[in-house]
Chains A and B, each alone.
Chain A
Amino acid sequence: MSSGDDPSGSASRRVGDWPEQAIAEGMVTFTPYAKALGMKYVSSSPNHGEIFLPWREDLVGQGGSDIFAPGVLTALIDHVCGLAIMATFGFEARPATLDLRIDHMRPAAPRGSITAAAHCYKSTRNIAFLRAEAWDVSRDDLVATAQAAFILNRKEQA
C-alpha cells in the first residue's frame, strides 16, 4: 500500500474546515469563564445546543441555601445560546449577545445540577433569535426560560 494519501483526509484539513460540532464543543471546553464555572458540553446540532452544569458549593447565591445564584444560570443560558449558534455557523459567526431576558420560574432544587438547552429558531445574515430553557430534574418542570438575540458576523456566502 502506498503511503501517499491519508485516507481520513485529516492532513489536508485547515482549522477553518473543522466540523462545526467540534468547534461548538471546544467553545464550552475552552472558554475560560465556562471552564471556571464547570460547564460540561452535552450535545449540539444545527440550531441546537445543550450544556450541563454540575452543582458546586462556591457558586451558591446565599450561603446555606445550596441553590445556584441566579447569575450562574445567566452565564449558562448565555453560553448555551452561543453554542446553538456556533453549532450552526461555526467559528466564523463570532456571535455576540445583543439582549437576553431570563424568567426565573422557581428556585432550583438544593444541590441540584442544571441542564440548559437553546434553540435558534430564526437567523438572518446579521441576527440570530433564540429561546432557551433550564431545568434541574425534568424538562417538564423548568427552573428558568429565556429569550435572546445575538449579532452575527457571518461571511458572505460564496
Chain B
Amino acid sequence: MSVDLAAVLAASPFARFLAIETQVDDRGVLAILPIRDELIGNVMLPAMHGGCVAAFLEIACQLQVAHETGTIAPARTIDISVEYLRPARREITYARARIRRLGRRVATIHAEAWQSDEAKPVCLLQSHLRLPDGVATSD
C-alpha cells in the first residue's frame, strides 16, 4: 500500500513550483510549504497569497489520497470550498488532509493548514476528488 510520495510530487510541475515537501507519520501525510517572496499576496502585512495556501491544501489532499489508496494516478478536483481563518504569515506552513469518505468514484476530504501552532489553523479546505478508476474503496 505504500506509495512513493516524492514521485507523486515530482510528477506535478506545479507542486515543484511551490516546492512542497512531505513526510509520513502515524497520522498520515504531513505536507510542508517552505516560504519565499514569490508566494506573498499582501506585501504590507506581509501575508501569503490566499490562492497559494488553498493550492497547497489541494495538493495535501492529493498526497493523502495517494497515500491511502496506494495509487499514484492523479485524482481530479471536482470542487473546493476554502475558509480563511487568519492571515498566513511569511513563515513555513504545514498541512494535513483527512479523507472522510473514500467512495468508488469520489473522495470527500477535509484539510487544514497551520503555521507555528497546529491549534490555530490559518485555512480550512473541503474538497471532492474524482478518483482514478480501479481504486479500492473502504466503505
Binding site for B on A (CB under 8 A): 30-36, 57-63, 68-72, 74-79, 96-104, 107
The 8 sampled A-B contact pairs (Cβ below 8 Å) are A32-B43, A36-B38, A68-B14, A78-B51, A98-B84, A100-B50, A101-B80, A104-B78
CB distance from A143 to the nearest CB of B (A): 12
With A32-B40, A74-B58, A78-B50 known to touch, is A99 a contact of B14 (CB < 8 Å)?
no
Q: Top 8 A-B pairs ranked by shortest CB distance?
A: A71-B55, A75-B51, A69-B14, A33-B49, A36-B38, A78-B51, A70-B77, A32-B40
With A59-B13, A78-B54, A100-B82 known to touch, is A71 a contact of B59 (CB < 8 Å)?
yes
A36 near B39 (CB under 8 angstroms)?
A: yes
B16 within 8 A of A: yes
Complex partner residue of A32 from B12, B38, B82, CB under 8 angstroms = B38
Q: In whole angstroms, how far apart are the Cα atoms of A104 and B127 in the complex? A: 11
A74 near B13 (CB under 8 angstroms)?
A: no
Chain B interfacial residues counted at CB < 8 A: 35
B52 within 8 A of A: yes
Q: In whole angstroms, how far apart are the Cα atoms of A153 and B46 in the complex? A: 17
Give 14 new A-B contacts, CB below 8 A, not counting A63-B11, A69-B15, A74-B58: A57-B13, A58-B16, A61-B12, A61-B14, A63-B13, A69-B13, A69-B14, A71-B58, A72-B55, A78-B54, A96-B84, A100-B84, A101-B81, A102-B79
A96 near B17 (CB under 8 angstroms)?
A: no
B70 within 8 A of A: no
A62 neighbours in B (Cβ, 8 Å): 11-12, 74
B78 neighbours in A (Cβ, 8 Å): 103-104
Chain B window 1-22, contacts with chain A (Cβ cutoff 8 Å), 1 for yes, 0 for no = 0000000000111111100000
B80 near A96 (CB under 8 angstroms)?
A: no
Complex partner residue of B49 from A31, A61, A104, CB under 8 angstroms = A31
Complex partner residue of A71 from B37, B51, B83, B87, CB under 8 angstroms = B51
B79 near A60 (CB under 8 angstroms)?
A: no
B59 neighbours in A (Cβ, 8 Å): 71
A33 near B83 (CB under 8 angstroms)?
A: no
B54 near A74 (CB under 8 angstroms)?
A: yes
Q: In whole angstroms, how far apart are the Cα atoms of A26 and B78 in the complex? A: 32
